[in-house]
Amino acid sequence: MQDDFSGMEELYRDFILDHYRNPRNAGTLEGADATYEDNNPLCGDRIRMDLKLRDGVIEDIKFKGRGCAISQASASLLTEVVKGKTVAEAARIGKEDVLENLGIQISAARLKCALLGLKVLKEALSLAAPDL
């Protein structure tokens, strides 16, 4: 039966499970410059991100969420990617980048899971740096 799951083992690779179970930058930030929380109403996935900026650079970022391995791993990965980047750089991150970082094939139904973190990050960034 194992071969049935080639697609699945591919999707749930070790590093995805690792990010799911041991999310990086987990938690909240005291005195954050911006906080944004959103959810995917159809499935209930939820992610909150807190940002701290200094001189246009994302000095710190934390996230808190609940949901599927894809949504949580994707958010976790994203925090790693943007930490230390300038706001402008972070703002340029697109869907493709997120999917590339995940390195897996996502079906249409799960795309919203994979991209929820990005959506929250973008909103948080525009709160933190409205002129951008």
Q: Which stretch binds other proteins (CB under 8 A): 34-42, 49-57, 78-86, 96-104?
A: 34-42
Residue 26 touches other proteins, criterion: CB under 8 A: no
What is the layout of strands, in order, in the sheet containing 57-66?
A: 34-39, 46-54, 57-66
Which residues in 93-112 contact other proteins (CB under 8 A)? 107-110
For 33, the 3-state DSSP assignment is: coil
Q: Among residues 9 and 97, whose Cβ is nearest to other proteins?
A: 9
Residue 50 touches other proteins, criterion: CB under 8 A: no
Q: Which stretch binds other proteins (CB under 8 A): 4-12, 48-56, 87-95, 121-129?
A: 4-12
Residue 42 touches other proteins, criterion: CB under 8 A: yes
Q: Where are the beta strands (DSSP E) in 3-108?
A: 34-39, 46-54, 57-66
Pairwise CA distance, residues 76 & 127, whole Å: 20
Pairwise CA distance, residues 19 & 73, whole Å: 5
Q: Which stretch binds other proteins (CB under 8 A): 5-13, 25-33, 50-58, 74-82?
A: 5-13
Let me know if 19 is exposed, middle or buried by CB neighbors in 10 A (0-12, 13-18, 19+).
buried
Binding stretches for other proteins (CB under 8 A): 1, 4-5, 7-9, 11-12, 17, 21, 39, 41-46, 66-70, 72, 107-110, 113
